[in-house]
Structure 1
Amino acid sequence: MSFFQPHVPKAQKQAADPQHQPWVEKYRPKTIEDVSAQEHTVAVLRKTLTSSNLPHMLFYGPPGTGKTSTILALARQLFGPDNFRSRVLELNASDERGISIVREKIKNFARQTPRAQAVASDGKTYPCPPYKIIILDEADSMTQDAQAALRRIMELYARITRFCLVCNYVTRIIEPLASRCSKFRFKPLDPSSTSTRLEQIASAENVPVDADTIQALISTSHGDLRRAITYLQSASRLAMSTTPPSKITPRDVQEIAGVVPDAVVSDFATALGIEQIGGDGMDVDMDNTGRTKEKGFDGVRGKVREIIREGYSASQIISQLHDHVVHHPTLTARQKAKCALAFAEADKALCDGADEELWILEVGLRVHKAMSSES
């Protein structure tokens, strides 16, 4: 028996099968032109490719809007595949980024003089400017001391090193650090941009999706494209796992996203006395099984028990019921205000660890009272 292991080339070890790759990484923008819906930022950064003069930058905005993808795509266009690893240092929130890391790892990389440009292996010409880029992803999680130590490093090595701070909350970046950077705000993606990108990915992966499914992906992701792509991949795997493969439905997307299906929220709202949006105004006294619906306290309590048995989150139910009430076209301002007060008190109680069933029942009864008192 041989104790020697067969030699596997390093490149072969690291090669990832595209079939098993998360779609978020597979379809990450390769150039800044591929970045969706951030026209102003892309226009400014496009000019840096021609001038090769890059300032320190601060990218901020909600998750999944393309902040990290944009700076990585820009770095690849500046340095090319050969120089990318030697010219770019990326530190994420998973790395320890206290003051010791700033003083050692970041400072050591920042002080190194960039090597001369090598001929690109892919035959393309890259600007390859005479500086390096340090990307600090989720910089708002850095300690105050670490951020303070970073100020001097940014000044000392500005000639050969540029910093790009990426964060969700710009207010957590200390002002002396923020003032040294050009700020770029990334806004949540609009529905049309998200829809276009999701349709491109679905087409590339041969996943049939209709307009309702795309709308469900957009509404559950709230402008976070990364989340929408992840939901699409999960839903496609769920649909392909059946025999024969089924079609992705909006309800599938809502189940994967942990969102309460619209039909459940609408049914609960009807039990509370809220008129159905787009309904014919008729009061239906029979449920789906042909039995007479209970009304008043017993009806609300029965519906709450159904929701709890299904295992839906109380905070999610209250959040979606809030949106249903606030956007309802026929409710009065007084009714909406009474409901909003009940939702706010329930949200606070649930955050403090209160019983979910009792508070859904409390909200249901108060909403029912608000509807019946002015009917």
Structure 2
Amino acid sequence: MKEHRVWVEKYRPEKLSEIVGQNSVIDRLQKFVENQSLPHLLFAGPPGNGKTTAALCVAKELFGEKWRQNFLELNASDERGIDTVRTRVKDYARTRPVGKFSYKIIYLDESDALTSEAQQALRRTMEMYSDTCRFILACNYSSKIIEPIQSRCAVFRFKRLAEEDIGRVLKKIAREEEIKLKDDGIEAIIYVSEGDLRRAINILQASSALEEEISEDVVYQVSATASPGEVKDMINLALNNDFEEARGKLMELLVNQGLAGDDILQQMHREIFDLDIPDPVKVKLIDRLGELDFRLVEGANERIQLEAALAYLSRLGNRMSS
């Protein structure tokens, strides 16, 4: 009987060398582990690219079987106030490690969510207990971490994973789970995940629960994402002055497929770069989409704003044809 586990956890690498797509980062981390000398670390980069996995692998390779007793993981977005730093973090940092180890590790995920006051308290804690504890801070935006903390850490920047890296992992999981993953299904997962391996694996698992053979149609259905071809057709119809047909496509995406307006706008943004139109026109389109995105964030009606986008496309199409 197959294990009914979340595949992200089931296929999480156990060693640094197994992490894909971050070779320069992993090489530096392995040297720290080999020397048993670990400074405070700051992991920065987009979600789903191996920051948490790298922290867990460092702990496992440093502490072996006792890694759980010497590793504390906290999500700073849940416990982001100064009281958390003054109590839970400080209490753990001041205790001696279990076993014959020089220090233990505190991993603060999403540390860019910590308030400024909490970061100031954390800076002092990192100073006071550096003999018994090392901190690994993970964040999406390193600019949100105060300079005194950044200067105390070795900074590692995780990049978005390449398409071939994600494809290789998906094929490996498909083989081990004995599921049929078509080539267009892989391309669709890569398109939807946008370099986020965690999201890609979750989409693969959800798709496998829906159909035995995973194609692009299944992926777009599971991920609640419009097909790139549908979005591109809608844009081209508007540019070719067929506004009513383009509006019909938009209603299909909004009503029948139940997509959110901001998701459609983001996909329009992605598809514009592949359109066969002059660059100055692309510049105008990107500028207008940025304005519409701001309006949606401020609470404007998504249907009206998206129809306004199509109307603007039709006007541009008229100018190009005249």
Aligned to 1:373: 319
2:217 to 251, 264, 284: 251
1:158/1:251 Cα in 2 relative to 1: closer, same or farther (>3 Å)?
same
**Per-residue deviation, residues 170-198 of structure 1 (Å, max 9, x unmatched):** 11111111111100001111111111111
Q: Give the conservation status (yes or no) of the 8 Å contact 1:271–1:303.
A: no
Instruction: Please give the per-residue CA displacement for 1:310-349, whole angstroms capped at 9, x wherever unaligned.
Output: 2332222232223323222x31234323333432332222
Larger radius of gyration: 1
Q: 1:262 to 1:160 in 2, by over 3 A?
A: same
Distance (whole Å) between structure 2 residues aligned to residue 297 and residue 215 of structure 1: 30
Which of 145, 148, 159 in structure 2 is aligned with 1:173? 145
Correspondences of 1:1-375 after superposition (within 5 Å): 19-81=3-65, 83-93=66-76, 95-117=78-100, 129-239=101-211, 245=212, 247-274=213-240, 296-310=242-256, 311-328=258-275, 330-375=276-321
How far, CA to CA, are the matches of 1:300 and 1:71 in structure 2?
A: 48
Q: Displacement of 1:154 after TM fit?
A: 1.5
**Gap regions ≥5 residues in structure 1:** 1-16, 118-128, 240-244, 275-294
Report which stretch shifted further, 299-308 or 72-81. 299-308
Q: Is the 8 A contact 2:49 2:197 kept in 1?
A: yes
Alpha-carbon deviations, 1:42-100, whole Å to 9, x = none? Answer: 1111112221011111111110010011011110111112x122211111236534222
Task: Name whichever of 335-344 and 137-146 sits farther off.
Answer: 335-344
Distance 1:306 1:18 in 2: 38
Conserved 8 A contact 1:342-1:367: no
In structure 2, distance between residues paired with 1:89 and 1:222: 30
Quick one: which amino acid aligns to residue 105 of structure 2?
A: I
How big is each residue's C-alpha offset from its partner over 1:352-375, in whole Å with a ceiling of 9 and x where there is no partner?
Answer: 222222222221122122112222
Q: How many angstroms apart in 2 are the aligned matches of 1:323 and 1:79?
A: 44
Question: Does the aligned pair in 1 maintain the 2:40–2:153 contact within 8 Å?
Answer: yes
| Cα gap change, 1:30 to 1:373, in 2 (>3 Å) | same
For the aligned residues, what is the CA RMSD?
Answer: 2.0
Q: Distance in 2 between matches of 1:79 and 1:226?
A: 26
Once the 2 structures are TM-superposed, how far is the Cα of residue 261 of structure 1 from its aligned partner? 1.5
Q: SS of the counterpart of 1:370?
A: helix
The Cα of 1:155 is off from its aligned counterpart by 1.7
In 2, the alpha carbon distance for the partners of 1:197 and 1:305 equals 36
Decide whether aligned partners of structure 1 residues 173 and 340 sit closer, same or farther in structure 2, where only a CA change above 3 A counts.
closer
- Alignment correspondent of 1:282: none
Deviation at 1:308, TM superposition (A): 3.4
TM-score by length of 2: 0.92
Q: Distance in 2 between matches of 1:302 and 1:165?
A: 48
- CA distance 1:44–1:271, shift in 2 (3 Å): same
**Aligned equivalents of 2:78, 2:308: Cα separation in 1:** 45
State the SS of the aligned residue for 1:163.
strand
Contact 1:300-1:365 within 8 A present in 2 as well? no
